[in-house]
Amino acid sequence: MAVVRIENVVKHYGLVEAVRGVSLNCADGEMMALLGPSGCGKTTMLKMLAGIEDVTSGEIYFDDEPIADRDPSARNIAMVFEDYALYPRLSVEQNIAFPLKVRHMPKREIKPRVDKALDMLDLQQFRRDNVQRLSGGAQQRVSIGRALVRDPSLILFDEPLSHLDGDQKVQLRVEIKRLQHEMGLTSILVTHDQTEAIAMCNRVAVLNEGELQQVDTAEVVYDYPANLFVATFVGEPPMNLLPAELRQERDGLVAAGEGWRVAIADRQATRARQATNRADVILGIRPEHLDLVPLAGEGANGDDLRGTVFFREPRGDSQIVLITSEAVPGEGNVVTETDSASSLRDDEAVALRIQPEHVHLFDPATGENLFARGS
Amino acid sequence: MRAAARRRRAFIYLALSLLYLVILLFPVYWMAMMMVKPADLMFVRPTEWAFSPTLSHFEYVVEHGFLGNLGTSLIVSIGSTLLVVVIGTPAAYAFARFKIWRRDDLFLFILATRMAPPVALAIPFYLIYAKLDILDTHLGLIVVYLTFNLSFYVWVLCSFCRDLPVELEEAALADGYSRAHVLYKIVLPLLRPGIVATSVLCFIFAWNEFLYAFLLGGRSVKTLPVAIPTLITGQGVLWGELAVVGVIAIVPVFIVVFYLQRHIIRGLTLGAVKG
């Protein structure tokens, strides 16, 4: 296993800049996710780590050794692919033994290693079967076995669970995490699925348009998104974004929009003031941090956001409610999450209260989070 | 009741298939019969079905060196097909996989060599061959078939290459193979049905070709399609001998197709059916 250091790596395909200067460290035994929408450069990053694609500029180090110029075979990496990429016509056993055979390891050394891999992945019963007859989940286990069998410095997972269905997906997710943890494998997982990234990885690196947006633990990425992209990409349903105006009032800094206002805590207000002088900002608030308050009686007050229920999506223990509101311009909706017992009806008028401690403010020009955690 | 209906249906299918087979194979049977039919009974009416077979047609064919023509045909067809496979396979793979400068233009240009009707190129070929002094040589015919078959082969095989999963090659690279090893050990075995199906078509094209064989060969290097018309002589048509040479010309194609049948079917249906 190795420490992986990526320094200012750039990749051009002709005029297209696929990766624009990404620097990233992956500690020994760490599992890191490269998360982003399609075309963000995450697969290109993976191929450069593997040596299948050259880097245009920059350097990659495994344990302080520069390897960007080396052939894939000289890097000691292993890959697990989305569609398994097993060698057809070979048996399970032969597939797993393949990387060892290529390295001319003596037969008597190959056997115990393959046996160990088969045991670990619960594949002994299939050892002589042709890989093409196995289920998707079993095929992917074989492919993981092929990766583990030779103690690679780094394992690259390229959307390993995308082709599997529900229960196999969850099962293999747990299994990969367990093996990775037990064996202390340095791993990089490429995925567009945030659930996968959060469930499996120690840290998540969010990429967009070839640039690194944020690297941190899943919790930090979720609670303190570095910019608008991360805020909307991570989290399901995504964060609500409301155009707002910052103004100084008697009780401190206040963000206000069409029909609502919320006070900004002093500590955050200081940060926001340091970050920008502009009055127009974007306020971000996650669906679960918007509370439905009753309109009648002592419920709603003048600070609450008003709207009407547009659509409800039951999610078992909770429900997602889409609300049309003047606070959001154009076709947009405000999304909130409430418990499933609530007796909302379509077209019902509602009020929403913003939890002030969970508010984010973004610069509309740069997209930066104005509360950026002091580095 | 139902079983009976099914049996009757099966019987009708069988009868129809047999009828079709008879229609299909009757000319072949007729040709085979002509091989051993004495010349004087050839066109007797009503047809003579029972006759004592003669080997005189075979003797004539052997004496007049038609086996040499068979050899020439084999050398030229196999030689050009092998060269097409050796040159065309890496080319097709490269077109499918690598980002080559102006790849699509080059690819179309390759096909352009096949757009002109063959006869339009006959005279240029003749003049070039005369200058190079390779008229009437095996090499000359091999090269001319190469120019025709290569474009076809590269085009067809390239689509086979595109259908191969690139991840498999990447997996092999990650597992420690070099590019050359990947091509040899991973790509080629997977491409085999495609290579077989396409090269068989190239072989058959070269085997049947007449125009260039006639113009650029003709005297010492004479392929079967060129040799066969020499049996239509001033003294009359030698039907029996014609039948013998005709059968000789068909047999290698039969052998190739039967022997490689499995591969050809897989090759021709590859890409159509995934999984």
- The CATH number of residue B136's host domain is 1.10.3720.10
Omega cis (within 30) before A237: yes
**Residues B25 and B141 placed together within one structural domain of the fold:** no
**Whether A50 and B168 lie within 8 Å, measured CB to CB:** no
**Residues B147 and B184 placed together within one structural domain of the fold:** yes
> In CATH, what number does A4-231 get?
3.40.50.300
Taking only the tens of pLDDT, chain B with its 275 residues reads 678 889 999 999 999 999 999 999 998 888 888 899 888 888 888 887 888 888 899 999 999 889 999 999 999 999 999 999 999 999 999 999 888 888 888 888 888 878 888 888 889 999 999 999 999 999 999 999 998 899 999 999 998 898 888 888 999 998 888 888 898 888 998 898 889 989 998 999 999 999 999 999 878 899 999 999 989 888 888 899 999 999 999 889 888 888 888 777 777 765 544 43
**Whether B175 and A50 lie within 8 Å, measured CB to CB:** no
Taking only the tens of pLDDT, chain A with its 375 residues reads 789 999 999 999 888 899 999 999 999 999 999 999 998 999 999 999 999 999 999 999 999 999 999 998 889 899 999 888 898 888 999 999 999 998 899 999 999 999 999 998 889 999 999 998 898 889 999 999 999 898 899 999 999 998 888 888 888 999 899 999 988 999 999 999 999 999 899 999 999 999 999 999 999 999 999 999 999 999 988 999 999 999 888 878 899 988 898 999 888 888 888 888 888 999 999 999 999 887 876 677 888 888 899 888 888 888 999 999 888 887 778 999 888 777 788 888 889 999 999 999 999 999 999 887 543
**Residues B12 and B95 placed together within one structural domain of the fold:** no
CA distance A228 to A226: 7
First to last CA, chain A: 29
State both tokens at B129: 């061959």
CB–CB of A177/A189 below 8 Å?
no
- Mind telling me how many Å the CA of A147 is from chain B's nearest CA? 8
Interface test with B, best of A16, A87, A114 (most B CBs within 10 A): A87
**Residues B135 and B31 placed together within one structural domain of the fold:** no
Q: Residue A196 — φ and ψ, nearest 5°?
A: -60, -50
**Whether B167 and A102 lie within 8 Å, measured CB to CB:** no
**Whether B175 and A78 lie within 8 Å, measured CB to CB:** yes
Q: Look at residue B143 and tell me if it is in a domain.
A: yes
Quote the number of domains for chain B. Answer: 2
According to DSSP, the β-strands at A154-158 and A305-314 are unpaired
**Whether B176 and A73 lie within 8 Å, measured CB to CB:** yes
Q: Look at residue B144 and tell me if it is in a domain.
A: yes
- Mind telling me how many Å the CA of B48 is from chain A's nearest CA? 56
State both tokens at B166: 């690139």
Query: What pLDDT sits at residue B275?
Result: 38
Sheet holding A280-285, edge to edge: A260-263, A252-257, A240-249, A280-285, A360-362
ipTM of the complex: 0.77
Q: Look at residue B49 and tell me if it is in a domain.
A: no
CA distance B140 to B147: 11
- Mind telling me how many Å the CA of B177 is from chain A's nearest CA? 6
CA distance A37 to A223: 20
State both tokens at B21: 């087979």
Q: Is A6 exposed, middle or buried (0-12, 13-18, 19+ CB in 10 A)?
A: buried
Task: Pick the closest to residue B156 from B191, B208, B183 (CA basis).
Answer: B191
Domain region containing B27:
2-41
Query: What pLDDT sits at residue B272?
Result: 47
CB pairs under 8 A between A and B: 55
| Residue count of chain A | 375
CA distance B34 to B47: 12
The shortest CB-CB distance from A77 to any of B174, B178, B186 is to B174
Contacts of B171 in chain A (CB under 8 A): 79, 81, 85-87, 143, 146
Give this prediction's pTM. Answer: 0.79
> In CATH, what number does A232-362 get?
2.40.50.140
A288: which residues sit within 8 A by CB, 6+ positions away? Answer: A336, A337
CA distance A61 to A312: 50
**Residues B93 and B126 placed together within one structural domain of the fold:** yes
Helices (H), ranges, A121-190: 136-148, 166-183
Taking only residues 106 to 165 of chain A, the set having a beta carbon closer than 8 angstroms to any beta carbon of chain B reads 143, 146, 156, 158
**Residues B31 and B120 placed together within one structural domain of the fold:** no
Contact with chain A for residue B168, Cβ under 8 A:
yes
Query: What pLDDT sits at residue A27?
Result: 94
Q: Look at residue B67 and tell me if it is in a domain.
A: yes
Q: Is B174 strand, coil or helix?
A: helix
Contact with chain A for residue B178, Cβ under 8 A:
yes
Contacts of B181 in chain A (CB under 8 A): 102
**Residues B11 and B145 placed together within one structural domain of the fold:** no
Domain range annotation of chain A = 4-231, 232-362
**Residues B219 and B116 placed together within one structural domain of the fold:** yes
Q: Look at residue B252 and tell me if it is in a domain.
A: yes
**Residues B149 and B254 placed together within one structural domain of the fold:** yes
